[in-house]
Structure 1
Amino acid sequence: MGGALDSFGSFTRYFLQNERSNLEYLSYVMLIFGVQSFVLLQYFPSPYGRHGSSAWGFLVNGKFAWFTQELPAFAIPVLLVVFADCPQLGASSNRILLGLFLLHYFQRTFIYPMLIRGGKPTPFIPYTMAISFCCANGYLQGRSLTRFVAYPKTWMTEPRVWIGMLLFFVGMGVNIHSDHILMNLRKPGETGYKIPKGGMFSFVSGANFLGEVIEWSGYACACWNLPALAFACFTFLKPCSTCHATPQMVQAGSLKITPRKEKP
């Protein structure tokens, strides 16, 4: 036991001594896993939602799964702010950009799960994958913005920042509104598949996925750093995490950007 603790302590010291480069490596790993996931999802369905089954492990209550898998992405940056050395947090630009990240995950952690009515259970394997992703991403985004990324004092006056923030809030609005439509798709007691209508669902089938792609693309534009870019790309490509994107749209047949017509 003592040997294991010594090894863990040595690894932790090494990681922290080379933290900047390790954050860069973690960003590249996120990009690689995103591409890998995109390729795999061309041949296999995502293992949750209507494609979820006990073949991917025992089923976890939907509300509980969503709350606990999203929580690390919110909690880890907050813990870093409270307990870690945060030399860049004195800059207003870093605080605002970190605030965007925390705003999203506050809504997804504490508000969205409470609004879920029923909700399909999540298989254990994708559930643990989602937790792992949110832990890594919470650390990656939180640590980069609080310790390493230094912006010029005029950063918040840059056009790319305002464009990025606009995209972020537009995407967040699309995502929340689309989720509202989905949660009210069926009346109490109704079952079976129903096609969502209204909002961006008038143009794409995966409007909630599209909202997150727009949101995190805006975040990457405003932050203009590698960790934010890696997250935006992963959101666009990833299959089995909390922020869904293009592979699911492809499986749902939602690459149609023209308005859908009702069948007679």
Structure 2
Amino acid sequence: MSSFLLSFVYPPPPSVFVTAMSAISFASLANTGAAEVRGQHLNYSKFWNAVTSTRSNAGSRRLPSREGMLLLYAPALVAALASFAIPGAVVGERARWLSAALSIHFFKRVMEVLFIHQYSGHMLLGSALPISFSYFISTATMIYAQYLTQPMSEPASDLKYIGVALFFLGLAGNFYHHYLLSKLRKQGEKEYKIPRGGLFDLVVCPHYLFEILGFFGVSLISQTVYAFSFTFGTMFYLIGRSYATRKWYLSKFDQFPKHVKALIPYVF
């Protein structure tokens, strides 16, 4: 079994840090997904804003949502771009594709925050900082794990070009559905509406589906244990998030179509 897996993945590097981060990333993300199912939402979601009283957070500093979202993504973008400036950090085609994919991913997120997304709430600084650090350390660790593969032989099955194609498919699908979400509300409107168009007619969170595909693309580019651990953790988190999102829409809209699934058309 191990020899079969090693035909697709680099051997785990002799790094206690990367090994620990592989376990921590998967466990923390999967646990956060389970928390979403239980109704314990991250402190920047519309679900959390709807159920949290202002009194309980009166002593916490609030950021406008746009500034808060920039704080989430900008440090990870800097980490990905900085890898190209560090001598010896990005060596070989696979490493260049990985750093490029992570740079493109977070650049897209920053551009969406600035020019695409619509906002109607706020974010607590105390919540934004740990999420921002999580994105930053995950990005840096993925690049470092790839750096540690330099003396190793390539996996028998080279999946990086399949990964590149899957990454751009996920990127395009995620952006398109974010764009559709941004057009739901006219200027000045704050109420939530049922998304329409694209795969929204089949699932409530197609943007999450494409984000998962994009991260699987990144994993196939990297083919490291850490990349797959992070991706599977992200997948479980977004499964929980999509479940919570569908439940929220069902509770808010009597006319929400029951045939629309959470994440996977016709299945879940």
Alignment-derived partner of residue 243 in structure 2: 250
Could you list the per-position Cα deviations for residues 144-183 of structure 1 after superposition, in whole angstroms to 9, with x for gaps in the alignment?
A: 23x212388987x956223222221111111101110111
Structure 1 residue matching 2:38: 3-state secondary structure: coil
Aligned AA (1:24):
T
C-alpha change, 1:175 and 1:50, in structure 2 (3 Å) is same
Q: CA deviation at 1:90?
A: 2.8
Unaligned 5+ residue runs, structure 1? 1-17, 239-244, 260-264
Structure with more relative contact order (C-alpha pairs < 8 Å, separation 6 or more): 2
Residue 71 of structure 1 pairs with residue 74 of structure 2 = yes
C-alpha change, 1:151 and 1:217, in structure 2 (3 Å) is farther
Distance (Å, rounded) in 2 between the aligned partners of 1:30 and 1:153: 25
1:45–1:51 Cα contact (<8 Å) kept: no
Alignment-derived partner of residue 35 in structure 1: 30
Alignment size in residue pairs:
231
Alignment-derived partner of residue 122 in structure 1: 123
Q: CA deviation at 1:99?
A: 0.8
1:161–1:222 Cα contact (<8 Å) kept: yes
Could you list the per-position Cα deviations for residues 27-72 of structure 1 after superposition, in whole angstroms to 9, with x for gaps in the alignment?
A: 2111111222223222224232212334464431111111121112
Compute the RMSD of aligned alpha carbons: 2.7
1:77–1:143 Cα contact (<8 Å) kept: no
Aligned AA (1:217):
F
Structure 2 residue matching 1:188: 3-state secondary structure: coil
Alignment-derived partner of residue 168 in structure 2: 169
1:178–1:207 Cα contact (<8 Å) kept: yes
Alignment-derived partner of residue 207 in structure 2: 208
2:80–2:100 Cα contact (<8 Å) kept: no
Could you list the per-position Cα deviations for residues 216-262 of structure 1 after superposition, in whole angstroms to 9, with x for gaps in the alignment?
A: 01211221111211221222133xxxxxx111100122146239xxx
Q: Percent identity?
A: 16
Alignment-derived partner of residue 112 in structure 2: 112
C-alpha change, 1:118 and 1:170, in structure 2 (3 Å) is same
Residue 52 of structure 1 pairs with residue 71 of structure 2 = no
TM-score normalised according to structure 2 size: 0.76
C-alpha change, 1:153 and 1:69, in structure 2 (3 Å) is same
Aligned AA (1:51):
F
Distance (Å, rounded) in 1 between the aligned partners of 2:183 and 2:161: 33
C-alpha change, 1:258 and 1:123, in structure 2 (3 Å) is same
Aligned AA (2:244):
Q
C-alpha change, 1:190 and 1:74, in structure 2 (3 Å) is closer
Aligned AA (1:252):
T
Alignment-derived partner of residue 15 in structure 1: none
2:98–2:222 Cα contact (<8 Å) kept: yes
Alignment-derived partner of residue 136 in structure 2: 135
C-alpha change, 1:248 and 1:51, in structure 2 (3 Å) is same
Aligned AA (2:72):
Q
1:52–1:123 Cα contact (<8 Å) kept: no
Distance (Å, rounded) in 1 between the aligned partners of 2:134 and 2:148: 21
Q: Choose between structure 1 and 2: higher helix proportion.
A: 1
Aligned AA (2:211):
E
